Amino acid sequence: MYIHTMLKAYEYRLYPEEDQKILLAKHFGCARWVWNWALSKKIEYYKQTKKTLNRYDIQAEIPKLKKSEETSWLKEVNSQSLQAVLPHLDAAYNRFFSKKSNFPKFKSRKNRQSFEIPQNLEIDYEKGEITLPKFKKKGIKCIFHRKILGEIRTCTIKRSRAGSYYVSILTEDGTEPPKKPVPKRNKALGIDLGLKHFAITSDGTKIENPRLLDSSLKKLQRVQRSFSRKLKAHKKGEPLSNNAEKTKKKLSQLHERVRNQRKDFLHKTSTQLIRENQTICIEDLNVQGMVKNKRLARHIFDVGWGAFRQMLTYKAEWYGVNLLTIGRFDPSSKTCSACGWIKKDLKLSDREFVCESCGSVLDRDVNAAINIRDFSFIGIRNDSESTPVSEASLETQSRKSDERSHSQEAPRSLAAG
């Protein structure tokens, strides 16, 4: 029997010593190698048989690789970390088959590195250390800003492109998530995610994009330009000049700073919204589809809608808040929230919504946020004493959203009653 309990994620910065960095690098390298090896095996197998190669068949070959002279270096790292690569590759295939992402890519040493530790992680809060299998001699220095609650499910070590190390830990705390109240429209908040403002809510609040992020972005663009100039001057085949290397390093550090600032902002904003409301209504945005539109791409990445939506989803579970969504094709900005008239020719530049039917004049984004709230309640029969949302559908929903995959489908079923 499976008992549904709460999952929580923690992330801490790690400060490995030089010899630990070497062993970490071996783990990153081997995990990456196994990913690429397994991916090409799957591709090859499919070409020959038109069938998918099973994860367990791949796994069974890893011990053979360790015995073979050519790949015996795989022995130097934790074998569980190698095996742990395979379910992630399966997940990447599943996301591809369900059209949620592109075909899995080969991993490069230039990008962010990671490996997973499924078991036997030791934490020493007093010493401020984390001990990994194969690192038995000494723990890695770690700053714990808060204690981990619950039982550790998985642990992932990461190295950013700028060269900082992190550990993220997912735990299950054994408690059941709080019960959600019956959604009521008068206690619900619609949120419209925008470009000019980060978000606009149905009560008329406009949440600005953080200034800090803005100035870091400007700096980032400046360094990016300078690096591009240096690259242009650089001759193919020759190593980068010291100066260019320095700029490159600075660039990845800035990228990391922007990412951290954005994450910080998204966490604060999502927590506040979830804590202050019993029901939140959002649009089921197809972020992947939109990123393909080049003009919007930068903005979407900057504001991190996808990440924000994910945070809202799991925080709604933690705090017992309803998260309702409307379809991405519902005309939330073109409909008058007062009378339902549809303005077919609304342009992106129109900041006000002027209703030709009832005469309402509304801020465009606030109008959209109110519609997002109201559309979410279509099918929930009577707002004040609506039929309770079935526990079962909530359970499946929260289960899905707990998996760290990026594939949460919004609880459309809630809106359908």
**Residue 227 near residue 416 (C-beta atoms within 8 A):** no
Rounded-to-integer distance, Cα 86 and Cα 41, Å: 12
Least separation in angstroms between CB 333 and Zn ion: 14
CB closer to Zn ion, 281 vs 370: 370
- In whole angstroms, the minimum distance from the beta carbon of 338 to Zn ion comes to 4
Identify the active-site residue in 116, 317, 365, 402. Answer: 365
**Active-site position among 283, 317, 374, 402:** 283
What residues have CB less than 8 Å from 198, skipping those under 6 apart?
A: 207, 208, 209, 265, 269, 303
Q: Please report the beta strands in 208-321, taking only residues with DSSP state E, as ranges in sequence order.
A: 279-283
Strand 7-15 vs strand 165-172: parallel, antiparallel, or unpaired? antiparallel
Please report how close the Cβ of residue 380 comes to Zn ion at its closest, in angstroms: 23
The catalytic residue among 192, 317, 374, 402 is 192
Q: Least distance to Zn ion from the beta carbon of 326, Å?
A: 19
Give yes or no: 17 in active site.
Answer: no
**Alpha carbon 188 to its chain's center:** 25
Of the candidates 335, 392, 388, which has an alpha carbon nearest to the alpha carbon of residue 364?
335
> Among 7, 99, 86, which Cα is nearest to 407's?
99
| 283 is an active site residue | yes
Contacting positions for Zn ion (CB under 5 A): 336, 338-339, 341, 355, 357-358, 360
Specify the amino acid at residue 137. K
Given strand 7-15, what is the order of strands in its sheet?
Answer: 113-117, 151-159, 165-172, 7-15, 140-142, 129-131, 122-124
Catalytic residue check, 203: no
Closest CA to 321 of 282, 383, 289, 275: 275
Smallest separation (angstroms) from Zn ion to the CB of 363:
14
Closest to Zn ion by CB, 53 vs 338, is 338
- Residues with catalytic annotation? 192, 283, 365
